[in-house]
Amino acid sequence: MTDQTAIPAGVDLREEIDRLRKERNAVILAHYYQKPELQDLADFVGDSLELSKKAAETDADVIAFCGVKFMADTAKILSPEKIVVLPDMEAGCSLEDSCPPDKFRAFRENHPDHIALTYINCSTEVKALSDVIVTSSSAETILEQIPEDQPIIFGPDRHLGGYLNRKFNRDMLLWPGVCIVHEAFSERELLKLKAEHPEAPIAAHPECPPTIIDHADHVGSTSSILQFAKTFPGDTLIVATEPHIIHQMEKALPEKTFLGAPGADGNCNCNICPYMALNTMEKLYLCLRDLEPRIEIEESLRLKAKASLDKMLEMASGTIGKGDLGDPDA
- Segments making up each domain of the chain, as ranges: 4-91+276-296, 95-178, 181-271
CATH (residue range 95-178)? 3.40.50.10800
248 burial type by CB count under 10 A (0-12 exposed, 13-18 middle, 19+ buried): buried
CA distances from 274 to 72, 124, 202 (A): 17, 21, 24
Query: Residue 319's pLDDT is what?
Result: 57
8 Å CB contact between 131 and 119: no
Name beta bridge partners: 202.
238
Hey, what CATH topology would domain 4-91+276-296 get? Answer: Rossmann fold (3.40.50)
Query: Residue 213's pLDDT is what?
Result: 98
Give CA–CA dist 314/41, Å, rounded.
Answer: 32
Reply yes or no: is the peptide bond before residue 156 cis, omega within 30 of 0: yes
Hey, what CATH topology would domain 181-271 get? Answer: Rossmann fold (3.40.50)
Same fold, 4-91+276-296 and 181-271: yes
pTM for the whole thing? 0.91
How many other C-beta atoms are found inside a 10 Å radius of the C-beta of residue 26?
24
Per-position pLDDT tens, the chain of length 330: 445 557 888 889 999 999 999 999 999 999 999 999 999 999 999 988 889 888 889 999 999 999 999 999 999 999 999 999 999 999 999 999 999 999 999 999 999 999 999 999 999 999 999 999 999 989 999 999 999 999 999 999 999 999 999 999 999 999 999 999 999 999 999 999 999 999 999 999 999 999 999 999 999 999 999 999 999 999 999 999 999 999 999 999 999 999 999 998 876 667 899 999 999 999 999 999 999 999 999 999 999 999 999 999 899 876 554 433 323 333
Sheet holding 26-31, edge to edge: 44-46, 26-31, 62-66, 83-85
